[in-house]
Structures are given as C-alpha cells and as structure tokens.
Structure 1
Amino acid sequence: MKRAAIITSSDSGYRREREDLSGPAIREILEREGYQVVSMDILPDDRTMLGEKMTEIADNNLAELILTTGGTGFSQRDVMPEATEDIIERRVPGIPEAMRAYSMTITRRAMLSRATAGIRKKTLIINLPGSPRAVKESLEYIIGALGHGIEILTGEASDCARK
C-alpha cells in the first residue's frame, strides 16, 4: 500500500480560525484509491516550516507521496511552490501542467495557479490548489497516473512501456 502525507498551508487554519476542508477532501480521494494516509498537518504559510515538514517526511521515508493544498496563489503569504522548490531534487513539471490544462476547461482562473511538483529522495511532492472543489477536480484528474510514477520512483516497477 502506498503511503501519503497531506500538508495544508493556511495561516487561519493553523490558528484554528478556519476549518480545513481541502485536507479531508484529499484524504477521501486517497483512501478511495487505496493509499494509506500517514499524516495530515496544517501549517502556517511559512516557507521554512513547510519545507522542513516536507523534508522530514521524505528524508525519513514516511510517505511515497506528499500532497499539499493551499499557498499556490498570488498573495504575499502564498509560498508553497517556493517551499517545495527549496527542497526538491528533481522537478516534475508535467503534473502541474496537466492540472492547469484540465482546470482551464473549467475556469480561466486556473492560469493563476503557481503549483509545482517534484521529487525528493523516493517521495513525490505535488502542490494542489487551496479550494476543496479545485482540489477534488485536480486530484481526481491526476490520481490514476500517480501510482505508476510512484512505482517507478520507488523501484517497484522498471518499465514505462504499456503491455
């Protein structure tokens, strides 16, 4: 069973002034797809704290997949892409490109997403949008391909060719 960690980036969520709806939406989809959710964290929009949490999960081999939500917009406090870029070893641009392309069929505002994705050690890290609706749309669009990518990353599979 593949393990996943969820990180919500939200100042108000961290202060418990707003309920996190996106993290639970991610969890629901992951569990439906057979992933074991090993952690769910709500952190402030703090680049260092976000990077440290993702590093801890990846470097200690706690999860093969980290999904983040929030912090991908234009606000001065939106720093999730930067925190992710700080700690990844290799970029995976196709994932956020695919999410944006699909989301553009729903709303033009999808072009405003700054989400990124990358690999640290044997962990795939993907930034998802902050709204529960956009999280569901984006994650449901990419989830089918993620399993194979993780299998290649972790060495469970070695061939990308279809049979």
Structure 2
Amino acid sequence: MATRIGIVTVSDRASRGEYEDRGGPAIQDYLGEVLTCPFESICRVISDDQSLIEQTLRDLSGPEGCCLVVTTGGTGPAPRDVTPEATEAVCQKLLPGFGELMRKVSLEKVPTAILSRQTAGICGRSLIINLPGQPRAIRECLDAVFAAVPYCIDLIEGPYLTTDESKVKAFRPKK
C-alpha cells in the first residue's frame, strides 16, 4: 500500500478558479523527485478560512490516513492568512524548529522572509508542515527541512519514507 501524503493549497483565488494553483503542483513535483518509496498524493485547494483549513487538516491526518500533510499559502501577515493558526489549533505538538529553519534559509534570499509565519506540528500520526506560497520558496524550504521528515514520521509511528540520497539524504540516528 502506498504512503499517503496530503497536499493543501490555501488560497481564496485558487479555490475560486481565478488563479492557477502553482503551489500544490510544486510540492507534488518536489516529493516526486526526492521520495523513492511509493506514495499517493491527496490534494486539496481550499479558501483562506480557518475552520475549513482545520477540518481539511483533520480529515487528511485522520480518515484519509496521510502521514505527512504539506500546506502552501496563508502564512503571511495579511488578515486572511490563517494557516498557522489552523495548524496550531489541530496539532497536539508544535515543532517550531521547522519554521525557524525555513525562515533562516528564506532570509538568505529575500528580506521579507521575516514576514512569513510557517510552522509545523503533529496531528495524531501526521506531520503537518506549512510552506509559503511561491514555488521557488517551497523548494528552498523543503530542501532545508526534508532531511528530518522521514525520521519524524518514524517517531510518530508512520510508514518508512525513503529518499533519493542524491537529492535529500534522510537523517536517521545510527542504531
């Protein structure tokens, strides 16, 4: 059975069809490049509505059985940017190091990275990671944190994720 991974684009305009979703496909492409284990993507494009984001995260991490849920969009300072709040509301444990590292890497490229509020946390047996909305920033942020993702999934008793070590060398402690 293939590992299930949720990909959530949070965007009012994309959810209404006014804007092409580029974030979700960028995440899908990245995962396709770095993961060597079979996986199935469960994709959603939703509006910037906190209750809807929360419900989507709960569905993907619960009944849909995703071990990893990656969001794009809704992490800025605008009034409708509420993805981090929704993530924090559904997670039992927050992992602030993900956001800290993603901001550090992004700050090397653009000074406005300090405005980004992406975070990560554990919801049940799922790791949820919030990413910015721009495809280039998505790749930079995933490159920064993905080495820790397979081991985190191990620790929450999820499936064993394998990576193409020429792209991302997953870190696991030596036994």
TM-score, normalization by structure 2: 0.86
Rate the CA distance shift 1:155–1:68 in 2: closer, same or farther, 3 A.
closer
- Residue 42 of structure 1 is matched in structure 2 by 45
Answering whether residue 158 of structure 2 is matched by residue 162 of structure 1, we say no
- Residue 79 of structure 2 is matched in structure 1 by 76
- Residue 129 of structure 1 is matched in structure 2 by 132
TM-score, normalization by structure 1: 0.92
In percent, how many aligned pairs have the same letter? Answer: 38
Distance 1:155 1:116 in 2: 20
Question: Does the aligned pair in 2 maintain the 1:47–1:82 contact within 8 Å?
Answer: yes
- Once the two structures are superposed, the pairs formed by residues 7-156 of structure 1 within 5 Å of their partners are 7-34=8-35, 36-60=39-63, 62-154=65-157
Distance 2:158 2:43 in 1: 26
Distance 1:127 1:94 in 2: 12
Q: How big is each residue's C-alpha offset from its partner over 1:68-122, in whole Å with a ceiling of 9 and x where there is no partner?
A: 0000001111110111111111101111111111111111111111111100111
DSSP 3-state at the match of 2:139: helix
Distance 2:8 2:74 in 1: 11
Question: Does the aligned pair in 2 maintain the 1:61–1:122 contact within 8 Å?
Answer: no
Distance 1:37 1:114 in 2: 28
Tell me the amino acid that sits aligned with residue 174 of structure 2: R
Q: RMSD of the TM alignment (CA)?
A: 1.7
Q: How many residues align?
A: 161
DSSP 3-state at the match of 1:76: coil
Question: Does the aligned pair in 2 maintain the 1:27–1:37 contact within 8 Å?
Answer: no
Alpha-carbon offset, residue 155 of structure 1: 5.9
Alpha-carbon offset, residue 52 of structure 1: 0.2
Q: Which runs of 5+ in 1 are unaligned?
A: none
Distance 1:136 1:144 in 2: 13
Question: Does the aligned pair in 2 maintain the 1:29–1:140 contact within 8 Å?
Answer: no
